[in-house]
Amino acid sequence: MKKIVYTLLLMLVAPFWLMSQNAIQEIWTQPAAFKADEMISVFFDVTGTPLDGISESEGVRVWTWFPNNPDENWANPSEKTKLKHVNGNIWRWDLNPAQLYNLPANQITGIYGQLQNYAGTKITDAFAPDKGNAITVYSLSTILADDAIIEYYPKQFTQDRPLSILINANNTWSDCESTPTKGKLASAPDIRMHGGVNGWDIQVMNNTENLAKTALTHLGNGIYRKDIVLNDYFGLAANYTVTGINMVFADKTWAYQGKGLNCADFYIQTPEKVVEAVPTLIFFPQKVSKKDLLCILRQNNESSLTGLTYTLTAGTLTHSGDFEGTTKEMIAYINLVDLLKDSNDVEKIHVTIKSKTGKIISETDIPLVQIND
């Protein structure tokens, strides 16, 4: 009966772990909102995947199948699908999607694929719509609407990742000190951002000293885009929290200005921070004997956690191992049947769980239920 219970446990737990263990931790692009016919950089965090800690000589490449596959040889990647190592477990893919896939820009809505080493022997899970992490080409339809003035992407942005701010210069307001005029900014020879955070507490001003920094990119039809990483752009201290972004747009001489409705300064409120779920540690079964397969699960791990190890002590016996999985769920199986077969006088086991950095996560004694053979 006990064997049947263990089998059911493995059937319930293992498939979930197998589906999640290779998931890419995070994907972001620079610019955040991009067109399919411009150069972009895609960043991948491969922490917790088979590519975790991979060397530059072994390499990381993209195997992509949507909108098509620009590489034909699985084990002989071309230069256009190879990634560059940034630092740690972060890798970067530089591409112009329209050129890479040899398609008109309006036929490219997204990019799907997976990561692997050059040899194709270590493979991550896919980045695709069904995984919720596809690389999506930003649609300009919202900012091109008749009454649209400002838009930003992504909506759930953070201070340390790229943010794209888009304005429709045709709908901004100028000459606010006299007779407000709509759309004048669209005639400006250049458009720049005069910006600040937290009620203009820290500013990057539109002046001659910042000309190389404040310029926006013209996307056509009077649509302009400013690409920033808040921490970098405003030179923010590590403990500085942004609650909102303040903006006015103008050319470098301030002859043309652009404000929002009712000639108000533009303002973007930062999204509320997502509170991480509390980690949960589960031992199964709850009553353990020397004839059990001990399963330890830790779910909703901290985003900074790169891995877990365990050490089991039983009398003079010590056994150590690693958990497997991702931040969502890490799991370890310990076969007590084989491990304690010669430990007849052991009445309890001591289990210590640590992070890869050595921090103790849990330390507990587990009594062993005595079962007659």
Using the predicted structure, report yes or no on whether residue 6 has a pLDDT greater than 50. Answer: no
Q: Lowest mean pLDDT: which of 199-203, 253-257, 317-321, 322-326?
A: 322-326
Angle, alpha carbons 124-126-129 (nearest 5°): 160
Selection from 197, 179, 297 nearest residue 237 by Cα: 197
| CB crowding 336-346: b at 16 or more within 10 Å, else e | beebbeebeeb
Q: pLDDT value at position 171?
A: 98
Both tokens of 229, joined, read 């990483």
pLDDT tens digits, one per residue of 329-356: 999 999 999 999 888 889 999 999 999 8
Q: pLDDT value at position 145?
A: 94
Indicate the pLDDT class of residue 15, thresholds 50, 70 and 90.
Answer: very low
How far is residue 300 CA from its own chain's centroid? 16
Round the average pLDDT of the chain to a whole number and report it: 91
Q: pLDDT value at position 109?
A: 96
Using the predicted structure, report yes or no on whether residue 20 has a pLDDT greater than 80. Answer: no
State whether the Cα torsion 159-162-168-173 is positive or negative: positive
Using the predicted structure, report yes or no on whether residue 372 has a pLDDT greater than 70. Answer: no
Indicate the pLDDT class of residue 303, thresholds 50, 70 and 90.
Answer: confident
Using the predicted structure, report yes or no on whether residue 175 has a pLDDT greater than 90. Answer: yes
pLDDT tens digits, one per residue of 30-74: 999 999 999 999 999 999 899 999 999 999 999 999 999 998 777
Both tokens of 50, joined, read 């088979």
Q: How many percent of the chain have pLDDT more than 90?
A: 80
Q: Please name each of the domains of the chain with its CATH number.
A: 20-136 (2.60.40), 150-269 (2.60.40), 276-367 (2.60.40.10)
